[in-house]
Chain A
């Protein structure tokens, strides 16, 4: 227990510029006011906290330990040999958690706070199903019900994750679904709608508003989600034997990237180390907000039920093309990450899923782990960057998940 962090790190108070506050649109009811009804109260406090370090409740830390924190930090010697120029590569293996991804780091506290508020049920969105699976596990352990709206393209292609969510006792709907008005409208507009994370969020919130004892919990983008993930980077700092020259992560909404990098970036911003370290955020060309988005106030969900936040965005009604890296199919990036990109502190890169999966295969064959298609985007960037770096350079990346439940992705790239 002693080597699991005692606090989450809030980067907002170290940023070079202030985070613009969330804002209500000029029409309709106050979305900010609506947060009171839909979200666990402690999470709202955390979203607006002025503390640099927020204490992790003992109950949550205990579950972190039971589920396998701290996760391993490993040297990718096989991948290093493959790259072959003497660059060293380390990775933090979040796929070692039972859900197979980093998502449990925030699912546990979020479900815990919902339970503390007396909720009987939590509702959420999921893309690839990693988040939905993590929420299902947390809800099972804490003893409340989970309801998951899963983007339809992945609901159909990732049947095992749906099955395992149900194994943990969750209810899973494909989104667009028939159970909310946002789903019904989307189906009416396009019977073959592949779903989007933005739409699934609106459905989950609408579901929460339809009944008592329900709370909505988000899988990414909001600042408290990123903050919960900082256990990854805090552990990594104490585990890694040398200072990295480059830290890499993939970005859907920004949570695993922030989780690994923010403790490093914070130290750099405070002048407490990592002066020479670069940070690289890797996205999917299916949802290229970091490289092509606009920095403006936009809704985090396509229905516009949440307050607007200032972020790099492709527009809340953007429906990314179906992709096997479904966790990266999101129109925006968390406000703090967007700001760090704007300020030039975080570099960005976009890859196609083919480019990413090719790297995923190389990693599987050199390290023995099938990476999640999302994480494969980070691996692709690691390989490309390593080739340009001098011998002895050190790279750290987040292996945010394993890909054992993503056969749809690997089926396509397997050589005969």
Chain B
């Protein structure tokens, strides 16, 4: 299944700004050929999201898994579709999320708060993903313990996602390339996705050069979503950074 290297991914919150518009965006995204697509499950508590994506969660037409189910097969729109949700919303229904993910053609479910707030659920997560025929994926921060990163890599996830900043869409003066290079050295040959606040091909280029296999854009795309042509040419512009 794997994701091609180097990869550009796109994050969208399901049914934002409306179900109809979300479907329109997906149609266009198919032609833009993003290498992977992350579909956010709308929630009332988007903990690690910055203002733009928080707004997208608030503004989604449907909430939770109902929003995800607005599309019957995401693999029509991207080679590797991925669901992304907060595990705090699904503590007792992990299996339901996995089932829906399988039904809508997603490859895995990424829970950004799993290792931080519910490390005791990692084993359960692995079991549920596997028993539903889904791949694993893990979200880490720059300060995640090396030993934990190594043990997550050993589980052969589809990818490990490094959040570059403290929240989506908000840049801070952080040496992100240094952090990517350090983490690259720890994840071994796991596919390393990086994201949060990516908004230029130069940034994409230097992150790939530092050792990322893939980059994800979210806030910067969603900000442009009211003008789809603008949003798509932005995506194309970013893609330019993938190659030297």
Contact = CB atoms under 8 A, between A and B. Distances in A.
Contact of A18 (B119, B170, B179): B119
A48 B48 CA distance: 15
Interface stretch (A31-39, A181-189, A358-366): A31-39
B123 interface: no
B173 A13 contact: no
Contact of B167 (A20, A24, A26, A41): A24
Interface of B: 45, 47-48, 50-51, 54, 115-117, 119, 140-148, 163, 165-167, 170-175, 178-179, 182-183
Contacts of A307: 166
B47 A32 contact: no
Contacts of B115: 18
B145 A44 contact: no
Nearest to A270: B147
A48 B174 contact: yes
Contacts of B179: 48-50
B119 A48 contact: no
B173 A45 contact: yes
B146 A32 contact: no
B146 A14 contact: yes
A21 B183 contact: no
Contacts of A30: 50-51, 167, 170
B232 to A, nearest CB: 27
B166 A15 contact: no
A16 interface: yes
Given A18-B140, A18-B144, A21-B166, A50 B183 contact: yes
9 contacts: A12-B143, A13-B143, A15-B145, A18-B141, A18-B145, A23-B47, A50-B179, A50-B183, A51-B182
Nearest to A308: B47
A284 B173 CA distance: 36
A135 to B, nearest CB: 21
A235 B183 CA distance: 28
Contacts of A51: 178, 182
B166 A48 contact: yes
Contacts of A14: 145-147
Nearest to B147: A14
Nearest to A19: B143
CB-based closest 6 A-B pairs: A41-B173, A12-B143, A50-B182, A20-B116, A50-B142, A50-B179
A21 B175 contact: no
Contact of A35 (B140, B145, B172, B175): B172
A30 B141 CA distance: 19
Contacts of A387: none
Given A14-B145, A24-B50, 15 more contacts: A12-B144, A17-B148, A18-B115, A20-B117, A21-B166, A23-B167, A32-B165, A32-B170, A33-B170, A41-B173, A45-B173, A45-B175, A48-B165, A49-B174, A50-B142
